[in-house]
Structure 1
Amino acid sequence: MSAAFGASVVALASLHAPVAQADKPHDVKHVLLISFDGLHEQDVARCIGGNTCPNLAQLAMSGVTYTNAHTPGLSDSFPGLAALVTGGSPKTTGLFYDVSYDRTLYQPTKNCTGAQGWNVVFDETAGKDGFNGGALVHLDGGGDFNPQAIPDALINGVCTHVFPHDYIKTNTIFEVVKQHIANARTAWADKHAWGYDWLNGPSGKGVDDLARTEINSLDPSTPPPMSDYTDFYTHTEQFDDFHVQIILNQIDGKDSTGKSAPVPTLFGTNFQTLSVAQKAPVATKGGGYLDASFTPGPDVAGAIKYLDNSLGKIVSELKQKNLYSSTLIIVTAKHGQSPTDQTKLVKNGDTLSALLQAKNYLDSSGNYGQNNNTGPLNDGEGFTGTGFVQTDDVGLIWLRDQSQAKTVVATLNANNHCTTTGICTDGPQAYILSGDSVADRFGDPAHGRTPDIIVQPNPGVIYTKSTKKDEEHGGNAPDDNHLGLIVSLPGLHHPGRKVDDYVLTTQVAPTILRALGLNPHLLHSVDAEHTHALPDLGIERND
């Protein structure tokens, strides 16, 4: 690893000297992890009950369905996926959002000069196409990192680039599998070509075949000025089809590009179609849900049908190649989407950021992070040491002056009403975390990475006035964090069961290692957070 945050990994690893191998309960030779982003538990129950997802239902018949699975506190794509592949929450992984803030980092391309504190952006602009705010014209993001997206850190007096794989603070299942299973191969495909480099883990080498696919790239088949793959869910299907083909290639003994390669020991992918369909406005675009009972609107119904058909293709290929009986298949999601009940939707705009700016806790003109620079947005220019706020259906606040935290919280509480100027935290399911309550759940803000304040508004509140979406994710609202989770393997004892125990998606990672015969404590987050494997699979023994 390039050592930017390696010290955290070493410190966690020293807690145990784990034994690599564990008893292997079944003849599992491969693990396939699939994330249908946006998939709620209620979606699973409804589509299986209504026979609208027969392929998912078949997996449930040969496996275990967890009806009470939840994300660990935040539900953005980064912490959501990190939970699945590290066994840890943001407290140990250090991943809070794909756009976040770190007080210890320096602005890119400045050789560690100037003030510390940088708005870290590891989204679609992390690829080379994003250089100088350029158009995202290549599916592979331009073929390399955008140097303007890579901040620096002083490590032992040396200015060192902090790539996404350096930014994550703990190791991943991909690294563990490669290190402890002879001749193992790992693979993954996701929505951003370069921002998801953190899946490699601190070694930078965890994923042998990390497909470089960028959902925000412009589709050359669309008419000028061209659109990316997120404009409508059927267009997103075309992007997800790339991932289906990648998985089929890998099952067939090829890599993501079609070149000959061993079938991965651990592989998987992410689908965005359902997420796009859920976000689409209900009244004008047919998106979202029709009622509080998760009755899907036409877009969501179409998306679920597409995802199930894709799943069917993958399972069929596993069977054709005689790999089905030796492959553990896990279907879940990084996050849900909120609100599914449109009567709860509140879009007053970003009243949280407006309040922070009005009180000068952040610059009154919005000049913080990369929000203000002399060139295009996300071109590596911007103000350092300014603090930052990230809002969706949650608010993550990194203050410019951390000593103001108590004063800021008092201001937030004084404006908790849900009016056109309030921050909508006046309901029983809303809360404002700061001080010890943040440190206990998410880590100490004094160390530079954790937000000083986390604002969870009333369920249904989205800090936007955008007419392009009626749902969002990122926070801890019920529709955000209650996910579908099915673990399937032919030969499991008592298949077809439903487990109603409260479980976290962090339990997927130790389950994967246990299934492959490895000790879950080889994962640093599992060790630090005492994460157990999922119950009732026959593989949940803890060391």
Structure 2
Amino acid sequence: MKFITLSSSVALVMGVLFLSSATEAKPKDHGHSGNSKIKHVVLLSIDGLRQKDLAEFAASNPKSTLANLAKTGIEFTNAQATKPSDSFPGLIAQLTGGTPISTGVWYDDSYDRSLYAPGSNCAGAPGTEVLFDETIDIDGTKINGGGGINVKALPLKLTNGKCEPVYPHQYVRVNNIFEIARKHGHVTAWSDKHTGAYDIARGPSGQGLTELYSPEIASVPVTGNATAAYDDLHVSAILNWIQGKDAAGVKHIGAVSVTQKVNGTPSPELTAAIQHTDASIGEIVAGLKAAKIYENTVIIISPKHGNSPRDVSKLKRVDPTILPSVLGGVEIAHTITDDVGIFWLKNSADTFKAASAAYENADKVHLTTLWAGEGVRLAGFGDPATDPRVPDIIFQSEPGTIFSLSEKKIAEHGGFNEDEVHVALLVSSPHLKALKKKIIDTPVKTTQIAPTILKLLGLDPAALEAVKLEGTAPLPIF
């Protein structure tokens, strides 16, 4: 049996991936395993968890599950998340080994110049917002999302003259670890926060997951107790998967894998959130031990992104409604402005004008760095002239800047600042306990998680298309 556990989401939300062999017989080792004793991998994605957060929590709570996992593991203290530092590209990085340049996934709310708007019947000029969140559920007010995806809410594409919807899993350009695992006889499962949107975890084939369990977080009241109860749903599903059952604990599907994530800022609320998450991870570890598979399991803890600012005194709020004027009044097709400026223009020929205006208005948005047109390509983000998903303009503001006037928001993510991209990355296993070097400060990226997982399971990392395109290596020592 082999399994993987992964997670993702925001605000103390459990994400779970389960991978195991279809039978009790051990899957074949395909010549890529660094340790034949490792049969299972669990990835826990505690979103918003920066490296400093993990270090401080473990030091302050030496008897916690996280602290104990660190004692039998390796901390990669210089790990970088994706840019943009959002849940969608962050998750896809962990599953594919790729960044938006190969995956095509920029955000959960992005833009594609080649697709058509939902409900348009592919009429008119192409170019539409691509929004994958609770709005594509049949009913986002229900915990089960109303039972699936509302096809009428999906973007459209023309294929040989036929207008067809684009499901989230079809939006990804490269394959993922689940698809590869299933081809080699594994059972896979994933849990996350939106019922319809996280169909994206199935991979472009749509066949990557045996089970997707994604209770709709938008149906849950925004309170600490409600969020904790929501996370407990994921823990329950994970424990059922560990026992070889489906998320509901009814049908037998195989073995298990799990992920967990949480989002927050350095505050009593964050501490409480991490403590609840720590307790949840403790339940998962106990479940692995009860199933007598803990000794053959590697647990990987890393978020999809961090949050900025960590120091709330650096918070600077900017009214997002000023952005069109900041860009000189050019017509904007779509904007992303959590704490970063990402813009698709109606007419890419306006890029120079918009970029020049942004420089002139730099003080209004605390601008530090701007990439536009050819500069976007040279920075390694892809070419807006040839790729319909690459934005025309990207700018980064000073750390602590968020584009919201809401007093409830004291942190955001999406940008490239230290607090957003310098994330926790802990790899733990009883088989690593004897290693003398427990801290590795070599720069690594969260994209390296995907090839690492395949290698640990005895599968070929080069089977990942993004790994070949971007040259993504497994984490050092694996």
* TM beyond 0.5: yes
Matches within 5 A, 1:503-514: 503-514=444-455
Map Cα deviations across residues 292-326 of structure 1 (whole Å, 9 max, x no partner).
xxxxx221111111111111110011001101011
1:423 aligns with 2:365: yes
Distance in 1 of aligned mates of 2:113 and 2:31: 39
Q: TM-score, normalised by structure 1?
A: 0.79
Distance in 2 of aligned mates of 1:214 and 1:453: 33
Q: Which of 234, 247, 251 is the aligned partner of 1:260?
A: 251
**In the alignment, which residue of structure 1 is the partner of 2:17?**
none
Letter in 1 for 2:459: L
**In the alignment, which residue of structure 2 is the partner of 1:251?**
242
Map Cα deviations across residues 13-33 of structure 1 (whole Å, 9 max, x no partner).
xxxxxx964244232222111
Say if 1:495 and 1:118 are closer, same or farther in 2 by CA, change over 3 A.
farther
SS at match of 2:258: strand
CA contact (8 A) 1:191 1:270 kept: no
Distance in 1 of aligned mates of 2:344 and 2:97: 25
Matches within 5 A, 1:395-406: 395-406=341-352
SS at match of 1:242: helix
Deviation at 1:407, TM superposition (A): 1.2
Letter in 2 for 1:194: G
**In the alignment, which residue of structure 2 is the partner of 1:293?**
none
Map Cα deviations across residues 245-292 of structure 1 (whole Å, 9 max, x no partner).
111110111111212324446x333433xx1xx2xxxxxxxxx33xxx
Matches within 5 A, 1:75-474: 75-129=85-139, 136-179=140-183, 181-182=184-185, 184-217=186-219, 228-229=220-221, 231-264=222-255, 267-272=257-262, 275=263, 278=264, 288-289=265-266, 297-350=267-320, 353-355=323-325, 359-362=329-332, 387-417=333-363, 422-425=364-367, 430-440=368-378, 441-446=380-385, 447-474=387-414
Farther off after superposition, 389-398 or 440-449: 440-449
Letter in 1 for 2:158: L
Letter in 2 for 1:22: H
SS at match of 2:164: strand
Letter in 1 for 2:391: P
Q: TM-score, normalised by structure 2?
A: 0.90
Deviation at 1:435, TM superposition (A): 2.3
Deviation at 1:168, TM superposition (A): 0.8
SS at match of 1:521: helix
The total of aligned residue pairs comes to 447
Say if 1:259 and 1:178 are closer, same or farther in 2 by CA, change over 3 A.
same
1:477 aligns with 2:417: yes
Letter in 1 for 2:129: N
Percent of aligned positions that are identical: 41
Matches within 5 A, 1:13-28: 21-28=31-38
Root-mean-square deviation (CA, aligned residues, Å) is: 1.8
Distance in 2 of aligned mates of 1:170 and 1:196: 16
Say if 1:457 and 1:68 are closer, same or farther in 2 by CA, change over 3 A.
same
Letter in 1 for 2:258: G
CA contact (8 A) 1:60 1:496 kept: no
Distance in 2 of aligned mates of 1:233 and 1:357: 39
Distance in 1 of aligned mates of 2:463 and 2:393: 32
Say if 1:352 and 1:473 are closer, same or farther in 2 by CA, change over 3 A.
farther
Distance in 1 of aligned mates of 2:63 and 2:409: 25
Instruction: Give the unaligned 5+ runs of structure 1.
Output: 1-18, 130-135, 218-227, 279-287, 290-296, 363-386
Map Cα deviations across residues 9-53 of structure 1 (whole Å, 9 max, x no partner).
xxxxxxxxxx96424423222211111111110011111111266
Deviation at 1:243, TM superposition (A): 0.7
Map Cα deviations across residues 432-461 of structure 1 (whole Å, 9 max, x no partner).
112233124221112210111111111100
CA contact (8 A) 1:53 1:305 kept: no
Distance in 2 of aligned mates of 1:494 and 1:304: 27
Deviation at 1:154, TM superposition (A): 1.2
Deviation at 1:232, TM superposition (A): 2.6
CA contact (8 A) 1:435 1:452 kept: yes
Deviation at 1:353, TM superposition (A): 2.5
